[in-house]
């Protein structure tokens, strides 16, 4: 019975995995074939690199790559800065209404970012950051999830280390920098992986708040490139898609082990 | 010669709502001395140390170090070092970085740092382990890293919070000797918290025995052992502790007084010649001597020490005797009374 159970489980897992990966596999296959072959699903058709050439010439991809790279970097730096300070305050400092404020922060987790798009749009415009990379990244910097994660991580640091550093003459920020931040390294890594992959793939918000090729990230550039008014060529779109996801995909394959472990470790704590 | 004490605590009190802190702590500590804060868990000895360290601020009273009022000063402004029970080594730093942590924070130049570190590692016998992480060290080595960190800055006051309690018994003895030697060689003042009375007795010049947030007695190990201020001290200090005899059990020597007697002053007497007739409740062979625990109504913790192996079957009736001049006398509330009993 239990053997049959495991067999079913494994079969289910394999089935799910195949369903999940098939669009990616198809896109990969289509990217290397002419569109007529791709549409007719001719498995024996010859391979070609023409789609990549066409796609590459069709849009300022280098600029898009640079934008996305800058965007995830800006967001990550901002998130590290704010979540570290806020998490430390919630974990180790006393101030009035601390619990209440923390609950407010946690409530932010229940609100989908999409709900706030209009309000964020208005705010970013008022700040004069419309159509700038900083404006795209700003709403995500004070991440509630990040604050929660950092608070949990800082809370697990033994109080003796804090006190030892105090006696050795460290200031409060010095203790944060020299003791808490290095000890929370696994949490930072886990959080960075999530943050980078989320913001690399983020689409709706950048679509709304960017207006020019100078600020557009890859996702937005790709959607404009593949928009129906440019004519639908499934192979060229696949090639462009492969180009945009390639860096993240390669990074994931390379850091697969760290990716999973980071989560396990951050979770076990 | 300056006769002013190095550290002074004056009527210090710390209270937490509902929880017992410490009350009326007054204590003088001379420069270069080794002071042990001794007591059962929850007696306030660690709180006293933390008040001294500046990790807690007292509600009442005054703390002076080197004649300077530091009652509300920050921990870092008190010129002291501390060894924690859990060692509090930074797990992400190597041995060397742990030791010079404080020097780095205080902006000591690199060359001086290296020199001081080399000296501290040499004193504590940690040479060659500079690049290990704390997780790659044994308990005893971690302990020594904590000591090295405490002495590297050359602070003249060092606080230690049960530094030996995480070591096994054998290591504890050797590290105990190391700590004493270190203190004497460097001439530093050590305030040492422990719940282990043998540790306090063997290390300290002065013992402060505490109970429920109050000081019970301050004195040399000799004072505490031979002249306990009350029955609590009598029962806490010494292994085995002093036996207490309720009033009226021994032929009425001193009406209404509780009597105390140490195991080494009790002897087994021939039948009919003893002053108390007891039943053997346990016999413990320790190698060089045997401890025989005795039971008698109204007597607590009566023990006889016999040299070598001399086990007595449990349940046997034996008679014991003792001299009056070895008896300690306590009044109704347990305070020592300095009257001497001479006639037998």
**What are the φ/ψ torsions at residue B124 (nearest 5 degrees)?**
-90, 0
ipTM of the complex: 0.84
Of A158, A168, A185, the CB nearest to B101: A168
Residues of B in contact with A160 (CB under 8 A): 84-86, 88
B340 or B253: which leads in pLDDT: B253
Put residue A15 in one of left, alpha, beta given phi > 0 → left and psi -120 to 50 → alpha. Answer: alpha
Could you tell me the CA-to-CA distances from A58 to A52, A125, A248 in Å, in that order? Answer: 10, 30, 22
Q: How far is B24 from chain A (nearest CA, A)?
A: 25
Q: Residue B62: its pLDDT value, please?
A: 93
Name the band, by pLDDT with cuts 50, 70 and 90, for residue B145: very high
Say yes or no: B37 and B142 in one domain: yes
Domain that holds residue B12: 7-233
Say yes or no: B153 and B261 in one domain: no
Residue B238 counted as domain residue = no
Could you tell me the CA-to-CA distances from B229 to B219, B246, B302, B332 in Å, in that order? Answer: 10, 17, 19, 13
d(CA A56, CA A59): 6
Residues of A in contact with B53 (CB under 8 A): 163, 167
In three-state secondary structure terms, B80 is strand
Of B55, B88, B105, the CB nearest to A161: B88
Say yes or no: B219 and B253 in one domain: no
Q: How far is A8 from chain B (nearest CA, A)?
A: 44
Could you tell me the CA-to-CA distances from B266 to A264, B197, B263, B269, B294 in Å, in that order? Answer: 63, 22, 5, 9, 11
Say yes or no: B199 and B285 in one domain: no
Query: Which of A160, A169, A187, A188 would best serve as a mutation to test chain B binding (most B beta carbons within 10 A)?
Result: A169
Tell me whether B90 touches chain A (CB under 8 Å): yes
Closest CA in chain B for residue A179 = B90
In three-state secondary structure terms, B131 is coil
CB–CB of B276/B319 below 8 Å?
yes
Q: Residue B343: its pLDDT value, please?
A: 47
Q: Residue B18: its pLDDT value, please?
A: 67
Residue B200 counted as domain residue = yes
**What are the φ/ψ torsions at residue B43 (nearest 5 degrees)?**
-90, -5
Q: Residue A265: its pLDDT value, please?
A: 60
Tell me whether A181 touches chain B (CB under 8 Å): no
Say yes or no: B130 and B187 in one domain: yes
Q: Residue B216: its pLDDT value, please?
A: 94
Q: Would the CB atoms of B84 and A160 count as touching at under 8 Å? A: yes
Q: Would the CB atoms of B81 and A160 count as touching at under 8 Å? A: no
Alpha-carbon dihedral angle through residues A79, A85, A90, A92, given to the nearest 10 degrees: 140
**What are the φ/ψ torsions at residue B4 (nearest 5 degrees)?**
-70, 135
Residue environment code for A1-24, b if the CB has 16+ CB neighbours within 10 A, otherwise e? eeeeeeeeeeeeeeeeeeeeeeee
Say yes or no: B174 and B310 in one domain: no
Query: Which of B50, B85, B102 would best serve as a mutation to test chain A binding (most A beta carbons within 10 A)?
Result: B102
Q: How far is B101 from chain A (nearest CA, A)?
A: 7
User: What distance lies between CA B328 and its chain's CA centroid?
Assistant: 22
Residue A181 counted as domain residue = yes
Name the band, by pLDDT with cuts 50, 70 and 90, for residue B247: confident
Residue B148 counted as domain residue = yes
Q: How far is A179 from chain B (nearest CA, A)?
A: 7
Q: Look at residue A186 and tell me whether its pLDDT is greater than 90.
A: no
Could you tell me the CA-to-CA distances from B77 to B28, B54, B70 in Å, in that order? Answer: 20, 9, 8
Residues of B in contact with A168 (CB under 8 A): 76, 101-102, 105-106, 149
Q: Residue A259: its pLDDT value, please?
A: 72
Q: Residue B344: its pLDDT value, please?
A: 43
Q: Look at residue B324 and tell me whether its pLDDT is greater than 60.
A: yes
Q: Residue for token digits 């970013």? A: A124
Residue B337 counted as domain residue = no
Q: Read off the CATH number of the domain in which B103 is found.
A: 3.40.50.300
Q: Look at residue A140 and tell me whether its pLDDT is greater than 50.
A: yes
pLDDT tens-digit profile of A239-253? 999 988 898 889 888
Say yes or no: B139 and B248 in one domain: no
> pLDDT > 90: what percent of chain A?
47
Q: Residue A234: its pLDDT value, please?
A: 85
Of A167, A174, A179, the CB nearest to B75: A167
pLDDT tens-digit profile of A83-104? 999 999 999 999 999 999 999 9
Residue A93 counted as domain residue = yes
A255 or B187: which leads in pLDDT: B187
Segment among A1-5, A6-10, A32-36, A116-120 with least mean pLDDT: A1-5
A186 or A183: which leads in pLDDT: A183
pLDDT tens-digit profile of B57-93? 999 999 999 989 999 998 888 999 999 999 999 999 9
pLDDT tens-digit profile of A43-53? 888 888 888 98
**What are the φ/ψ torsions at residue B37 (nearest 5 degrees)?**
-95, 115
Residue A180 counted as domain residue = yes
Percent helix, percent strand, percent coil in chain A, to nearest 5: 80, 0, 20
Residue B91 counted as domain residue = yes
Name the band, by pLDDT with cuts 50, 70 and 90, for residue A269: very low
d(CA A59, CA A217): 12
Q: Residue A189: its pLDDT value, please?
A: 86
CB–CB of B205/B35 below 8 Å?
yes
Q: Look at residue B222 and tell me whether its pLDDT is greater than 60.
A: yes
Say yes or no: B38 and B84 in one domain: yes
Q: Would the CB atoms of B75 and A163 count as touching at under 8 Å? A: yes
Q: How far is B100 from chain A (nearest CA, A)?
A: 10
Choosing from B167, B201, B233, the residue where a domain stops is B233
Q: Residue B310: its pLDDT value, please?
A: 84
Q: How many CB atoms lie within 10 A of CB A41?
A: 11
Among residues B158, B156, B148, the alpha carbon closest in space to that of B97 is found at B148
Residue A200 counted as domain residue = yes
DSSP letter string, A183-201: HTHHHHHHHHHHHHHHHHH
Q: Read off the CATH number of the domain in which A236 is found.
A: 1.10.3720.10
Query: Which of B87, B92, B113 would best serve as a mutation to test chain A binding (most A beta carbons within 10 A)?
Result: B92
Q: Look at residue A266 and tell me whether its pLDDT is greater than 60.
A: no
Say yes or no: B97 and B171 in one domain: yes
Q: Residue B35: its pLDDT value, please?
A: 96
d(CA B224, CA B198): 12
H or E element, residue B23: strand B19-29
Tell me whether A170 touches chain B (CB under 8 Å): yes
Tell me whether B54 touches chain A (CB under 8 Å): yes
Domain that holds residue A172: 60-265
In three-state secondary structure terms, A16 is helix
Residue A28 counted as domain residue = no
Residue B335 counted as domain residue = no
Say yes or no: B174 and B37 in one domain: yes
Say yes or no: B47 and B95 in one domain: yes
Residue A147 counted as domain residue = yes
How many CA within 13 A on the CB side of residue B153? 27
Residue environment code for B72-89, b if the CB has 16+ CB neighbours within 10 A, otherwise e? eeebbebbbbbbbbbbbb
Q: What is the DSSP letter of A139?
A: G
Number of structural domains chain B divides into:
2
CB–CB of B147/B83 below 8 Å?
yes
Choosing from B233, B260, B294, the residue where a domain stops is B233
Residues of A in contact with B101 (CB under 8 A): 165, 168, 178
Among residues B275, B273, B269, the alpha carbon closest in space to that of B327 is found at B275
DSSP letter string, A183-251: HTHHHHHHHHHHHHHHHHH--HHHHHH--STTT--HHHHHHHHT-GGG---HHHHHHHHHHHHHHHHHH
Helical H segments across B210-339, by residue range: 221-226, 231-236
Residue B343 counted as domain residue = no
A130-169 residues touching B, CB cutoff 8 A? 158, 160-161, 163-169
Q: Residue A114: its pLDDT value, please?
A: 82
> Tokens for A22?
């098939």
pLDDT tens-digit profile of B89-135? 999 999 999 999 999 999 999 999 999 999 999 988 888 899 999 99
The mean pLDDT value for A10-20 works out to 95
CB–CB of A238/A38 below 8 Å?
yes
Among residues B157, B142, B55, B25, the alpha carbon closest in space to that of B90 is found at B142
> Tokens for B75?
């921990």
Of A163, A168, A183, the CB nearest to B55: A163
Residue B344 counted as domain residue = no
Closest CA in chain B for residue A181 = B92
Beta bridge mates, A27: none
> pLDDT > 70: what percent of chain B?
97
Q: How far is B117 from chain A (nearest CA, A)?
A: 15
Do you find a cis peptide bond into A85, omega within 30 degrees of 0?
Answer: no
Q: Read off the CATH number of the domain in which B248 is found.
A: 2.40.50.140
Say yes or no: B206 and B313 in one domain: no
d(CA B74, CA B52): 11
Q: Residue A116: its pLDDT value, please?
A: 87
Residue A20 counted as domain residue = no
Q: Would the CB atoms of A168 and B102 count as touching at under 8 Å? A: yes
Burial class (CB in 10 A: 0-12, 13-18, 19+), B41: exposed
Q: Would the CB atoms of A161 and B105 count as touching at under 8 Å? A: no
d(CA B216, CA B204): 17
In three-state secondary structure terms, B336 is strand
Predicted model pTM: 0.83
Number of structural domains chain A divides into:
1
d(CA A222, CA B37): 72
Of B85, B86, B105, the CB nearest to A168: B105
Tell me whether B259 touches chain A (CB under 8 Å): no
Choosing from B180, B211, B233, the residue where a domain stops is B233
């Amino acid at each position: 019975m239990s053997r049959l159970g495991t067999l079913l489980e494994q079969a289910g897992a394999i089935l799910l995995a195949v369903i999940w990966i098939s669009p990616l596999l198809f896109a990969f296959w289509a990217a290397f074939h002419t569109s007529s072959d791709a549409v007719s699903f001719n498995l024996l058709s010859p391979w070609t690199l023409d789609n990549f050439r066409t796609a590459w010439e069709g849009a300022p991809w280098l600029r898009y790559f640079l934008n996305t790279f800058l965007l995830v970097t800006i967001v990550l730096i901002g998130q590290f800065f704010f979540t570290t300070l806020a998490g430390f305050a919630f974990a180790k400092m006393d101030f009035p209404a601390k619990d209440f404020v923390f609950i407010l922060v946690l409530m932010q987790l229940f609100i989908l970012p999409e709900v706030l798009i209009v309000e964020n749009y208005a705010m970013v415009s008022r700040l004069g950051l419309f159509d700038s990379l900083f404006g795209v990244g700003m709403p995500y910097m004070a991440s509630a999830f990040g604050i929660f994660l950092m608070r949990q991580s800082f809370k697990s640091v033994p109080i003796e280390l804090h006190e030892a550093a105090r006696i050795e003459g460290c200031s409060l920020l010095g203790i944060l920098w020299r003791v808490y931040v290095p000890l929370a390294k696994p949490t930072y890594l886990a959080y960075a992986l999530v943050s980078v992959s989320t913001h690399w793939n983020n689409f709706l918000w950048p679509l709304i708040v960017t207006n020019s090729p100078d600020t557009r990230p890859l996702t937005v550039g790709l959607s404009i490139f593949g928009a129906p008014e440019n004519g639908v060529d499934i192979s060229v779109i696949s090639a462009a898609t492969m180009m945009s996801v390639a860096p993240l995909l390669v990074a994931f394959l390379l850091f697969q082990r760290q990716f999973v472990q980071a989560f396990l470790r951050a979770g076990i704590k | 010669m300056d006769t002013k004490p190095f550290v002074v605590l004056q009527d210090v009190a710390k209270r937490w709502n509902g929880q017992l802190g410490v009350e009326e702590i007054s204590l003088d500590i001379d420069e270069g001395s080794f002071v042990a804060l001794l007591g059962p868990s929850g007696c306030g000895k660690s709180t006293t140390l933390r008040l001294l360290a500046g990790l807690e601020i007292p509600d009442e009273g005054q703390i002076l170090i080197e004649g300077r009022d530091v009652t509300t000063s920050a921990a870092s402004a008190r010129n002291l070092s501390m060894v924690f029970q859990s060692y509090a080594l930074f797990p992400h730093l190597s041995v060397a970085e742990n030791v010079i942590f404080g020097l780095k924070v205080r902006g000591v130049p690199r060359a001086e740092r290296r020199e001081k570190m080399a000296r501290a590692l040499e004193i504590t016998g940690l040479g060659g382990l500079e690049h290990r992480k704390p997780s790659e060290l044994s308990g005893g080595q971690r302990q020594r890293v904590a000591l090295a960190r405490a002495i590297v800055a050359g602070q003249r006051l060092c606080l230690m919070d049960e530094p030996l309690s995480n070591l096994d018994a054998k290591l504890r003895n050797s590290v105990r000797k190391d700590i004493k030697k270190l203190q004497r060689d460097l001439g530093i003042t050590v305030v040492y918290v422990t719940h282990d009375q043998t540790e306090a007795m063997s290390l300290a010049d002065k013992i402060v025995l505490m109970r429920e947030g109050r000081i019970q007695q301050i004195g040399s190990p000799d004072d505490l052992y031979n002249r306990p201020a009350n029955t609590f001290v009598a029962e806490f200090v010494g292994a085995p502790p002093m036996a207490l005899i309720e009033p009226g059990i021994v032929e009425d020597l001193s009406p209404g007084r509780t009597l105390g007697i140490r195991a080494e002053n009790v002897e087994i007497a021939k039948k009919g010649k003893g002053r108390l007739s007891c039943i053997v409740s346990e016999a413990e062979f320790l190698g060089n001597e045997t401890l025989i625990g005795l039971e008698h109504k109204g007597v607590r913790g009566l023990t006889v020490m016999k040299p070598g192996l001399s086990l007595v079957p449990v349940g046997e009736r034996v008679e014991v005797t003792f001299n009056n001049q070895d008896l300690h006398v306590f009044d109704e509330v347990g305070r020592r009374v300095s009257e001497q009993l001479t006639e037998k």
